[in-house]
Amino acid sequence: GRSEQLAGRNVVIERRRSRRSEWVPVASIRVGDDGRFATSWTPAKAGRHELRALPSTASSADSASATAASSVKRVTVYRSVTSTWYGPGFYGNRTACGQRMSRTILGVAHRTLPCGSKVALRANGVSLVVPVIDRGPYANGATYDLTRATAERLGVMHTAQIGAAVLSR
């Protein structure tokens, strides 16, 4: 991160537990004189996380900490999964979730996630969020079956490892 106002200070990186929950510390670091800092933390699960930095002297329970804290940043954490793609032969048919399958529909098939669940995908430097629109996959030990349009956008027109994070159920 970068925070000119925290330059040269020790900071605590905090993560919000949930939308309405308190902040919990996940790392601490000294900010360089130029305001730049970097650290790492291993989250318990993939998905979107909200992080902020604040001086180590401030307590997250402090009302003053809100003004001392950096702006809140959203970070998406992906887990590596195997994906395949599908489409030809299914165009014109309805998916298990009721949509009409076409060459241009963006979405994924998953065995158990509810229809409409949002899934963040990342491959080859491209990120995109798509809904679950079908059931599957049933081949190659894959976790997700990408529609042709989704696979093309991600540049993975073969069985491949990609990053995935369920954003909503």
Tokens representing 114? Answer: 């509810």
Check: CB of residue 143 under 8 Å from CB of residue 132: no
Considering only the C-alpha atoms of the chain, give the largest distance between any 2 of them, rounded to a whole number of Å.
62
- Which of 93, 84, 96 lies closest to 150 in space, CA to CA? 84
Check: CB of residue 25 under 8 Å from CB of residue 13: yes
Tens of pLDDT, residue by residue, the chain (169 residues): 888 888 999 999 999 987 777 899 999 999 999 999 999 999 989 999 999 988 988 755 444 445 567 788 899 999 999 999 999 999 999 999 999 999 999 999 999 999 999 999 999 999 999 999 999 998 889 999 999 999 999 999 999 999 999 998 7
**Strand order across the 10-16 sheet:** 23-30, 10-16, 47-55, 73-77
Strand, helix or coil for residue 6: helix
| Degrees, nearest 5: CA angle 36-38-43 | 145
Q: Which amino acid is at 72?
A: V
